């Protein structure tokens, strides 16, 4: 296979930030101009008190007003431009990352197990975009100019500069306290938020069981406890930042008064003028405003920083997208070569040293006791779970040599837990295809024996099924998911407990669908506990303890004595005999 991988995820993030370097540089230049223009008010007051009032010159005042108004307009325009540019950077980050974030969200379960609702990455991206569009980001660009203002205050008089410096040190210390004291509560609040939202979604998915069996109240109590824990951490973080914000505000007002008092002493000693008092007071207020604003926005800054760190890790988990040479459609065989499989992120092997090979036109039935590794084998064969040792091949090509979307065209998979997406029946059967051609949709529906059921619905294939297919029965969802697995006549069809919710008519349609896969030269693998699912199988595999116990023609395997076939085979054989 010819593969040219793209930049690794971390390099992608670095390149993305590098591509925005010019935009950040433009914002820095705009911030420089804004902070210089912010001196307008101070120097205007200085000129008014030291020149206009002593000279009683109205023309001078008029000229100063025109100049000041023009400079203020420029300052306003630059601040608007900076705000719009920051918002545009946030939109640009979203546009560049949202595809990778969503793909990472989909592929994350293939890499590790998660305890939250899986949507934290989406919230993180939104948090970053919101922070960049708010006043917190502008405060960060204004903070480096605080020393500049302090130097100007010192040029007015050294004691004014010393007073301003003491205030700046105090506010910077408060900022550092905000960082140190709020970091842990903010982390705990984010963790609690993810856990409670994940629990809420799980409870919503299981509402029937909760209400029918009377533990909705206990779930509510658990939710209240989790919510109280979240509120405790959220309140702790908010209280710390809020208290420090108020402290910073009071400190700034006291500093402003202190500057006026120092200025008054200097005027009494005739070491400064009245204009210097007013100008330095305005200048100190402007110098420390970004610090106070940064403290007030520190909670949002921490959330955005934590979100960025999580996004970087998430993108690092996602598989690297590749430009691959498209391989021919598989037509000959499936080969499983000595694979060992563990759950994503786990260390304990669920399957060990599994090997078999089946050719086109084969229907393989996989049986065995619960927790024997049957579903794990299905996930490994379809590429959902990584293989720790060995390889899975279609026509000699390992699954890793395929692009995931391209490979999906040749695989039909019906998981044990059937899940449909909100949309129409046609959307779900066609796997949300862009062209939505009716012929392959109808063909898949007929192959699954679900066509008549669909057309009897008031809106037919255009019926909107609701979230997770809530408007359909369990059997209807399973049969539509079977049609989805058969869409496009995939070479490999893997069905995990496909008849768990089917009636006799549905099971007959399932057998007909498996026969159809065999007749068109495909491969079907059926994992089942009920014997009726193996009616169309010609080959049987028995799995127990994570290993293959027997493999071969159905008649031979199901006829083996107990010491070779195990109790599962006897159960299937007995079921078929009945």
Residue 394, SS3 per DSSP: strand
Rounded distance between C-alpha atoms, residue 144 and residue 2, angstroms: 50
Pairing mode, strands 362-367 and 3-5: unpaired
Give how far the C-alpha of residue 444 lies from the chain's centroid of Cα atoms, to the nearest Å.
33
413-425 pLDDT, tens digit each: 988 888 788 788 8
Rounded distance between C-alpha atoms, residue 94 and residue 241, angstroms: 28
Q: Which residues contact 405 (CB under 8 A, 6 or more apart)?
A: none
Q: Look at residues 548, 549, 535, 489 and name the one whose alpha carbon lies nearest to residue 360.
A: 489
| Residue 240 phi, psi (nearest 5) | -65, -50
Q: Which residue matches tokens 């719009």?
A: 84
435-479 pLDDT, tens digit each: 778 899 999 999 888 898 899 888 888 888 876 666 788 888 888
Find the helix packing angle between 120-133 and 298-317, rounded to 10°. 140
Q: Which residue matches tokens 């970053």?
A: 128
User: What is the pLDDT, as a whole number, of residue 562?
Assistant: 47
Rounded distance between C-alpha atoms, residue 44 and residue 51, angstroms: 10
320-356 pLDDT, tens digit each: 555 567 788 888 999 999 999 988 777 888 899 999 9
H or E stretch covering 363: strand 362-367
Rounded distance between C-alpha atoms, residue 513 and residue 446, angstroms: 9
Rounded distance between C-alpha atoms, residue 17 and residue 22, angstroms: 10
Query: First CA to last CA across the chain, in angstroms?
Result: 50
∠ CA(164), CA(169), CA(172), 5° rounding?
120
User: What is the pLDDT, as a whole number, of residue 321?
Assistant: 57
Low-confidence spans in the chain with pLDDT less than 50 = 1-11, 562-578
> Are the beta carbons of 289 and 41 closer than 8 angstroms?
no
| Residue 3 phi, psi (nearest 5) | -130, 130
Sign of CA dihedral 91, 95, 100, 102: positive
Strands (E) located in 435-479: none
């Amino acid at each position: 296979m010819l593969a040219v991988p793209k930049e690794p995820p971390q390099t992608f993030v670095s390149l993305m930030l590098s591509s925005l370097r010019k935009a950040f540089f433009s914002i820095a230049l705009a911030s420089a101009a804004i902070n210089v223009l912010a001196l307008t008010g101070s120097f205007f007051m200085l000129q008014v008190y030291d020149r206009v009032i002593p000279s009683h010159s109205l023309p001078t005042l008029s000229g100063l007003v025109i100049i000041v108004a023009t400079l203020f307009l420029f300052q306003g325009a630059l601040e608007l431009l900076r705000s719009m540019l920051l918002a545009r950077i946030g939109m640009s980050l979203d546009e560049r990352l949202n595809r990778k974030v969503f793909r990472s969200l989909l592929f994350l379960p293939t890499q590790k197990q998660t305890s939250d609702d899986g949507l934290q990455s989406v919230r993180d991206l939104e948090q970053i975009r919101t922070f960049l569009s708010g006043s917190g980001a502008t405060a960060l660009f204004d903070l480096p100019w605080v020393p500049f203002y302090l130097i100007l205050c010192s040029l007015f008089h050294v004691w004014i500069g010393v007073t301003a410096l003491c205030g700046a040190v105090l506010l910077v210390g408060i900022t550092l306290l905000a960082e140190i004291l709020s970091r842990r509560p903010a982390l705990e609040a984010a963790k609690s938020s993810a856990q409670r939202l994940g629990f809420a979604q799980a409870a919503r998915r299981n509402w029937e069981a909760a209400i029918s069996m009377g533990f909705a109240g206990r779930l509510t109590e658990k939710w209240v406890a989790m919510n109280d824990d979240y509120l405790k951490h959220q309140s702790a973080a908010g209280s710390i930042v809020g208290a420090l914000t108020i402290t910073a505000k009071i400190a700034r007002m006291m500093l402003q008064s202190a500057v006026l008092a120092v200025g008054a002493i200097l005027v009494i000693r005739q070491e400064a003028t009245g204009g210097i008092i007013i100008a330095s007071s305005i200048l100190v207020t402007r110098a420390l405003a970004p610090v106070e604003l940064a403290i007030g926005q520190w909670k949002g800054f921490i959330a955005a920083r934590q979100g960025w760190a999580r996004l970087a890790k998430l993108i690092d988990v996602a598989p690297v997208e590749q430009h691959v040479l498209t391989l021919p459609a598989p037509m000959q065989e499936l080969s499983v070569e000595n694979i060992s499989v563990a759950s994503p992120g786990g260390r304990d092997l669920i399957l060990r040293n599994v090997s078999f090979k089946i050719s086109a036109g084969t229907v393989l039935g996989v049986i065995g006791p619960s927790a024997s590794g049957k579903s794990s084998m299905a996930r490994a064969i379809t590429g959902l779970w990584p293989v720790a040792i060995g390889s899975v091949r279609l026509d000699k090509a390992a699954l890793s040599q395929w692009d995931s979307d391209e490979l999906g065209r040749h695989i039909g998979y019906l998981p044990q837990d059937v899940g449909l997406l909100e949309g129409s029946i046609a959307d779900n059967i066609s796997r949300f295809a862009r062209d939505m051609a009716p012929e392959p949709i109808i063909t898949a529906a007929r192959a699954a024996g679900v066509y008549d059921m669909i057309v009897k619905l008031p809106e037919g294939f255009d019926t909107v099924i609701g979230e997770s297919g809530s408007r359909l029965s369990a059997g209807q969802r399973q049969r539509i998911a079977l049609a989805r697995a058969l869409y496009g006549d995939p070479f490999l069809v893997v069905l995990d407990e496909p008849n768990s919710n089917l009636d006799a008519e549905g099971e007959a349609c399932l057998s007909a669908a498996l026969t159809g896969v065999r007749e068109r030269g495909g491969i079907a693998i059926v994992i089942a506990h009920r014997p009726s699912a193996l009616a169309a199988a010609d080959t049987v595999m028995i799995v127990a303890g994570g290993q293959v116990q027997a493999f071969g023609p159905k008649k031979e395997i199901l006829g083996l004595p107990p010491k070779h076939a195990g109790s599962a085979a006897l159960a299937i054989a007995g079921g078929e005999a009945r």
